[in-house]
């Protein structure tokens, strides 16, 4: 039986998070916006403004809730994380303050899962403690959605591996202490079997940042996504993460939960859009009446509310399926959420922008940035088209071809079968006429 009630003790935590984010975290978004502030853990700002807030979160028992207690987290299930991330999604600093900022959260998950004791001590512990940042370096300039075109490779040389090649959109590299790099280690087999992952210290000789790429209207060179070249970068053999050829299994572990977490935070962003939309509708007057009284506005509000509700339920359901069956068993639901996320977000932003007129598209509202964020949701972690393919493939697994020449819903065939079943009764009814 479906039950949408929330355990009172957890509701108390959610109420606390909501208040804390509103009063302590959201002001940081306004006073200190920007990639640098969120990711640069070596800055004085981070030390003075972020760390004390992180300590409050730790004391409250809400730090890195996506991780198991063994790694200092709370071991929350995905449904609990969905409610929590919805609140954090309203603030740029929210995930950082609560210890579940991408890409560190996903990177921590895979080191926890596949790392050796030494790798965990060297990379995972300071990462979990929020002392260092990390980077995930997989996409290449010639393609991201199709790993079959990847060429960045590593060759074994004694006790070391030597990495050569290029990667594209390696987010937050400029603040990272280490990178997780996916490379081809066996070019003679299919990429799904011949790719491996390495933990690479960011100060390794040979790592060349060609440039940092920005999104939207970020200034040249100030973006957070590195175009990076690996020029014979040497890493010790014990820096292989998992086994040789295991990169794809590792990547799936990383993306399962992470993909949903973006969607959970998007629920928060979409509900923020609805708040702005409704406030505007009740505040702005045109032709002698409030915008809220115009039918066209009411349609916007209804559509935004309905889509938010549908999306939130979809995300919660997918989270529940992950809790029941694990990420692999929830492939269809996760991919379906990935398809819905940019669409619902974009439509919500566009309606809210429209109702704000010139102000809506100006840089005095958060909406233009939100619009760009909605578009990136359809590209980062794989394009929408690829997720649609996954949904269709998984849905089709529950079906089989029609028996014979006609569809199973073909009415003449079904009618003939039904009539044959009720032949006696039909005969008697006709006789009674």
Ligand X SMILES: Cc1cc2nc3c(=O)[nH]c(=O)nc-3n(C[C@H](O)[C@H](O)[C@H](O)COP(=O)(O)OP(=O)(O)OC[C@H]3O[C@@H](n4cnc5c(N)ncnc54)[C@H](O)[C@@H]3O)c2cc1C
Q: Which residues of the shown chain bind ligand X in the complex (CB under 6 A)?
A: 103, 136-139, 143-146, 169-171, 215, 225, 376, 379-380, 382-383, 385-386
Q: State the minimum distance, in angstroms, from the CB of residue 35 to ligand X.
A: 11
Give the integer Cα–Cα distance in Å for 165 and 187: 14
d(CA 268, CA 238): 41
The CA distance from 261 to 80, in Å, is: 11
Output the residue with the shortest Cβ distance to ligand X.
144
Compare residues 29 and 35 and give the one whose CB is closer to ligand X.
Answer: 35
| 235 alpha carbon, distance to own chain's centre | 30
According to DSSP, residue 1 is labeled -
142 C-beta neighbours (distance < 10 Å), count: 11
Given a contact cutoff of 8 angstroms between Cβ atoms, the answer to whether 60 and 16 are in contact is yes
The DSSP letter of residue 214 is P
Cβ closer to ligand X: 144 or 327? Answer: 144
DSSP secondary structure of 298-365: HHHHHHHHHHHHHHHHHHHHHHHHHHHHHHHHTHHHHHHHHHHHHHHHHHHHHHHHHHTHHHHHSTTS
Report, in Å, the least distance between residue 309 CB and ligand X.
27
Question: CB of residue 298 vs ligand X: minimum separation in angstroms?
Answer: 34
DSSP calls for 5-58:
---HHHHHHHHHHHHHIIIIIHHHHHHS-SHHHHH-TTSHHIIIIIHHHHHHHH
Question: For ligand X, which is the closer residue by CB, 180 or 319?
Answer: 180
Query: Least distance to ligand X from the beta carbon of 280, Å?
Result: 28
3-state secondary structure of 145: coil
CB closer to ligand X, 201 vs 214: 214
Q: Which residue, 338 or 351, is less far from ligand X as judged by CB?
A: 338
Helices (H), 146-209: 191-194
Q: Which is nearer to ligand X, 170 or 266 (CB)?
A: 170
Closest CB to ligand X among residues 152, 316: 152
Which CB sits closer to ligand X, 83 or 227? 227
| Least distance (Å) between residue 144 CB and ligand X | 2
Spell out the alpha helix ranges (H) of 245-294. Answer: 247-283
Smallest separation (angstroms) from ligand X to the CB of 168: 7
Please state the closest distance from residue 114 (CB atom) to ligand X, in A: 18
Tell the smallest beta-carbon distance from residue 145 to ligand X (Å): 3
């Amino acid at each position: 039986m479906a039950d949408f009630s929330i355990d009172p003790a957890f509701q108390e935590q959610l109420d606390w998070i909501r208040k804390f984010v509103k009063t302590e975290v959201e002001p940081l978004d306004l006073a200190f916006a920007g990639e640098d502030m969120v990711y640069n853990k070596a800055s004085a700002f981070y030390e003075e403004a972020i760390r004390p807030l992180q300590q409050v979160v730790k004391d409250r028992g809400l730090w890195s809730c996506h991780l198991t207690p063994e790694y200092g987290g709370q071991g929350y299930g995905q449904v609990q994380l969905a409610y929590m991330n919805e609140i954090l999604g309203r603030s740029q600093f929210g995930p950082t303050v609560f210890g579940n900022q991408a890409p560190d959260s996903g990177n921590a998950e895979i080191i926890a899962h596949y790392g050796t004791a030494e790798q965990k001590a060297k990379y995972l512990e300071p990462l979990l403690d929020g002392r260092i940042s990390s980077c995930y370096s997989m996409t290449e300039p010639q393609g991201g959605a199709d790993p079959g075109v990847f060429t960045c490779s590593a060759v074994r040389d004694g006790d070391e591996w030597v990495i050569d090649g290029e990667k594209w959109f390696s987010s937050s590299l400029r603040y990272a202490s280490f990178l997780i790099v996916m490379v081809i280690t066996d070019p003679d087999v299919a990429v799904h079997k011949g790719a491996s992952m390495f933990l690479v210290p960011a100060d390794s000789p040979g790592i060349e940042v060609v440039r940092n790429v920005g999104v939207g209207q970020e200034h040249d060179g100030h973006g957070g996504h590195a175009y990076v070249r690996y020029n014979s970068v040497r890493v010790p053999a014990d820096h292989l993460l998992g086994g040789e050829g295991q990169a794809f299994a590792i990547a799936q572990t990383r993306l399962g939960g992470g993909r949903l977490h973006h969607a959970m935070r998007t629920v928060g962003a979409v509900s923020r859009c609805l708040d702005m939309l409704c406030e505007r509708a009740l505040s702005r007057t045109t032709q002698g009446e409030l915008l809220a009284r115009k039918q066209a506005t009411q349609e916007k509000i209804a559509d935004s509310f309905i889509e938010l509700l549908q999306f939130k339920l979809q995300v919660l359901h997918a989270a529940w399926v992950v809790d029941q069956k694990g990420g692999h068993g929830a492939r269809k639901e996760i991919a379906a959420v990935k398809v819905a996320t940019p669409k619902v977000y974009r439509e919500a932003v566009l309606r809210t922008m429209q109702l704000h007129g010139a102000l809506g598209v100006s840089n005095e509202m958060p909406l233009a940035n939100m619009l760009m964020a909605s578009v990136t949701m359809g590209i980062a972690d794989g394009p929408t088209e690829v997720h649609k393919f996954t949904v269709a493939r998984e849905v089709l697994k529950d079906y089989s071809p029609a028996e014979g020449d006609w569809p199973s819903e073909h009415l003449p065939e079904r009618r003939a079968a039904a009539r044959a079943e009720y032949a006696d009764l039909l005969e008697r009814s006709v006789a009674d006429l």
